[in-house]
Amino acid sequence: MLAGFLLGGVRIPAQNLAPAPPMGWNSWDAYGLAINEDQFKANATVLATLAPYGWRYAVIDLGWFMANPVGHSVEQKFYVWNRHGLLIPAPGRFPSSANGAGFKPLADWVHAHGLKFGIYIVRGMPRQVATANLPIDGSRYRAADAADTNAPCPWFAGTWGVKDNAAGQAYYDSMMRLYASWGIDFLKVDCLEGNPYRLSEVRQIATAIHRTGRPIVLSLATGPPPLSEVSQISGLAQMWRISGDRWDGWTFQHKSGSEFPFGLKEAFQRISLWAAYAGSGHWPDPDMLPEGWLGPSPGWGVARDSHETFDEQRSEFALWCFARAPLFFGGNLTRLNTLSRSLLTNRTLLAIDQHATSSRPIPASSLGAAYGSLCVWRATIAGSGSTGDSQYVALFNLADSPTTVKLTWKQLGFRGSKHRTRNIWNDTTLATAKVISVSLPSHGSAILEVY
């Protein structure tokens, strides 16, 4: 049951805006700060062709309010805001937003294509707005009453935090009213880390969304949150990040205290730790899928084909689906390669992600000491098979060399000594056997339907 949150001393039940993990496309991995309206529409047009598979959300990430996203400083990026200090789309990059229209024309276009529209913000208030002390729309307060100059975003120089007071709530209320009037369906909010975690701003944003009356999925982009806060967060947001930014590599060297960039190998353990918290309406988020063509101006590094190997990209996509994670493809949809298209349209994996009634990692102790570099997941979709439940097993090789795996059905928790399997990657059926026996490439996987 969704916990909800307190509003004016009254407990508000959380809306189940995400009964299954949200699926869509996000601009960051391919376009960074620099995406424009034509580029967004080109990707959303491709996304619309994938809507029959469940892909719905088209999301513009950081930078949509910057007139000059390539500027080296906040001042040179030329943020654009309205007379009440609320960020609005840069009309030079999003021409349909001119004359005060905001994102409404673009959101209408997205909706007409059968999709949902999302944007990204960094929590808080632009520092220049606080300095100008602009009036907060619909209230008697001004920006300085709401700005918390003791709580800046530690990695984004453009914003202050928002105070946990009536003025701060009024500021977020005015922001969410504007977004709702545009027709926003998805809001990704970043930079909630701090000392302490900015739970007060999460609550203010969730309250403000509720007050608009519009169903807007709330995605918290900073992660992971303190475990002590998860019970509250799961009643306020539909998604929350559980790692630093994911990029296209098996593993990365990190600076002390940093998780940036977060590699695929590390994601296996992190996702397993958070698996118990996934459920209808609240989904731990291991970040976007940095697959395919990351260009023309990715949020990190130079334009490139994903540095992940063929096998790593397949393992990544399968892991996200078995974990019932939100699926947000990061590559450029206008340049989909055969591998990416095959993953985005894999009905079996997508069914596991969207409909699994049970999905969990198998404890390493069940596999034996010989398989220390093996990660195994088991998933069930109740009542979906011709004779009952559909059962699936995913085997992931985390080693840097190929391996052959032989496991009994008892080790994997199945009843019966013999089972028949279908290999999802090549759609071949294997004979009934007492053991699973498969060869796995380095960082590769086998996905099996079990009969």
> From the first residue on, what is the mean pLDDT of each consecutive set of 10 residues in the chain (451 residues)?
61 79 98 98 99 98 98 96 98 98 98 98 97 98 98 93 98 98 98 87 98 98 89 96 97 89 97 96 98 98 98 98 98 98 98 98 91 97 84 98 96 94 96 96 98 95
pLDDT for the residue numbered 106: 99
Write out the two tokens for 357. Answer: 């009634």
Look at residue 60 and give its three-state secondary structure: strand
pLDDT for the residue numbered 270: 97
Contacts with 304 (C-beta within 8 Å, 6 or more apart), sequence order: 248, 293, 294, 295, 298
Polymer length in residues for the chain: 451
Tell me the C-alpha distance between 170 and 172, whole Å.
6
pLDDT digits (tens, 9 = 90+) for 40-62: 999 999 999 999 999 999 999 99
pLDDT for the residue numbered 12: 65
If you count DSSP H runs as helices and E runs as strands, how many of each does the chain have, helices first? 13, 23
Report DSSP letters for 256-297, one per residue: TT--PSBPHHHHHHHHHHHGGG-BTTBEEE---B--SEE-SS
Q: Domains of the chain (ranges plus CATH)?
A: 5-355 (3.20.20.70), 360-450 (2.60.40.1180)
Q: Using an 8 Å Cβ cutoff, are 63 and 71 in contact?
A: no
pLDDT for the residue numbered 370: 86
Tell me the C-alpha distance between 235 and 260, whole Å.
28
Amino acid identity of residue 428, one-letter, is T
Tell me the C-alpha distance between 88 and 172, whole Å.
14
> Residue 324's CB: how many other CB atoms inside 10 A?
24
Q: Using an 8 Å Cβ cutoff, are 442 and 311 in contact?
A: yes
pLDDT for the residue numbered 1: 43
Cα dihedral across residues 217, 222, 224, 230: positive or negative: negative
Write out the two tokens for 46. Answer: 């491709």
Burial 117-137 (b: 16+ CB within 10 A, else e): bbbbbbbbbbbbbbeeebebb
Tell me the C-alpha distance between 75 and 153, whole Å.
17
Q: H or E segment at 341?
A: helix 338-344
pLDDT for the residue numbered 384: 74
* Claim: this prediction has a pTM higher than 0.85: yes
